[in-house]
Chains A and B, each alone.
Chain A
Amino acid sequence: MDWLQNYFNFRIVGNYADVFIAGVGQTLWISALCLFLALIIGTFVALARMSSNPLIWRPVAAYIQFIRSTPLLIQIYLVYYGLPSLLPRGYGDFFDETQTGIIALTIHTAPYMGEIIRAGIESVNRGQIEGALSVGMTPRQTLMNVTLPQALANVMPPLLGQTAVLIKDTSLLSIIAVFELMGAGLQMFSETVIATESYVTTAVCYLGIYALMLVLSGMAQNKLGGNAWKAN
């Protein structure tokens, strides 16, 4: 194995194993929280976007367009520098970097999720909604029990794709000093100054998470078997 050490010093990587494990955990945790928040806000974005009241759908459409046409990095900077000035005086450092990062990523991901959920809601057969309403369900019950479950099953593939994008996007939070997988790589690089091991290990960890995502989405495909899966 000595020849390998010339190219990739796995012993040093071994020393940093706990840092990388912590980084993977942090990345997964941040992504999971952002996904959860973005799905909730995204549902509201989707409903507001489908509203017929221009006072509701126009601002939401502007929000969606703004997020889609500006880079995530700029949005992170805007939240990072802008959020403290929005908070009441004396509470400027209420959120630490990680929480600020989670807020920024949620703001960034919610419109994408919203557009996917909207496509899902529009894909639900009109008769389903009419049927639910005619058996006496309230509009809210119809949404929660009939429309949304079918909508989510129909748009599972793009939702999972967007989740994969979200996991990759967390790497940008390292720029505002949030500790996650990329931050682990940067920490190792700043302490050891060996680029290959630091960054290749980071990449391998991300690919591991991605592979896990692929396996999970395969399982979801077998379980749910919505319309969208059959088309692919």
Chain B
Amino acid sequence: MEMIADKLSIVQSLWPFLIKGLWVTFQISMISILFGSLIGFTLGIGKTLGNVVLEKCINAYLHILRGSPYLVQLYIIYFVLPSLGIAWLSFDSYTAAIVSLSLYTSSYVTEIVASAIFAVPNGQSEAARSVGMSKTQTYRNVIIPQALKLTIPPMASVYVIVIKSTAVLSVIGIAELTRQGEVAIMRMPGDIMFIYLLIAFFYFLYCYPVLRFSKWAEGRFGQLGNDLH
């Protein structure tokens, strides 16, 4: 009984800090997925336009972001860019976090948007073109509305990836959930395991519903291709 009361008092004293950390995690993940989706959406459409040079450039961008760990990207944006001596590239830690996470997210979103556009049957765009729509009109009114529906389930899983990636931001001192937990551990070094389990529980509460939504949306809006991810 005493142990439970003890743990409860830890939870009580840490509660405000963990909630504050969760709020920062929420903020950063929301802003990053927003910017990441904007970049990814633009590049994803660019990839389907049929321009070979543009496609190669976008593929190179994707390979660079996909081929290196997020931790390295974060270090490069936070430590290397300021040493170039260009004033507006010297980010503070918060901006560096959002910029790096947005770029990282955009690599996933680009793939998703491009494959969703490819998944719309060819007949749709052929029909739209043959009734006299311009290429822009075809994209705006026929292809993108159908493709967007297909992007919903994978976008939810990308959002979970973004939330989980924010934990890495603790290494550059952003006061998000993991960092708040580390600070709490400095105050109560005897309860490392309990505090980390508590943080894991917070992340679980945040991510699990999104994963469930993704699963549900797969049944509702259809799966993208026969990708087994």
Binding site for B on A (CB under 8 A): 65-66, 68-75, 77-78, 81-82, 85, 116, 119-120, 123, 155, 157-158, 161, 164, 168-172, 174-175, 182, 185, 189, 194-196, 199-200, 202-203, 206-207, 209-211, 214, 228, 231
User: Given A73-B178, A172-B69, list of 8 further CB < 8 A pairs?
Assistant: A65-B204, A72-B164, A72-B167, A158-B229, A169-B69, A171-B72, A195-B83, A210-B63
Could you tell me if B68 and A168 are in contact, using CB atoms closer than 8 angstroms? yes
Partner of B67, one of A172, A189, A207: A207
> What DSSP secondary structure best describes chain A's contact surface?
helix
> What DSSP secondary structure best describes chain B's contact surface?
helix
Could you tell me if A65 and B211 are in contact, using CB atoms closer than 8 angstroms? yes
Could you tell me if B203 and A71 are in contact, using CB atoms closer than 8 angstroms? yes
Interface string of B182-209 (1 = CB under 8 A from A): 0000000000110011011001101110
Closest to B204 in A: A69
Interface string of B83-105 (1 = CB under 8 A from A): 11000000000000000000000
Could you tell me if B71 and A228 are in contact, using CB atoms closer than 8 angstroms? no
Could you tell me if A71 and B225 are in contact, using CB atoms closer than 8 angstroms? no
Q: Tell me whether B131 is interfacial, beta carbon within 8 Å.
A: no
The interface size bin for chain B is 35 or more
Give chain A nearest CB distance to B60 CB in angstroms: 11
Q: Tell me whether B149 is interfacial, beta carbon within 8 Å.
A: no
Binding site for A on B (CB under 8 A): 63-64, 66-73, 75-76, 79-80, 83-84, 160, 163-168, 170-171, 178, 192-193, 196-197, 199-200, 203-204, 206-208, 211, 225-229
Give chain A nearest CB distance to B121 CB in angstroms: 16
- Contact A196-B63, Cβ < 8 Å, known A72-B164, A74-B167, A206-B68: no
- Contact A199-B164, Cβ < 8 Å, known A74-B196, A81-B196, A210-B67: no
Closest to B71 in A: A171
Could you tell me if A199 and B72 are in contact, using CB atoms closer than 8 angstroms? yes
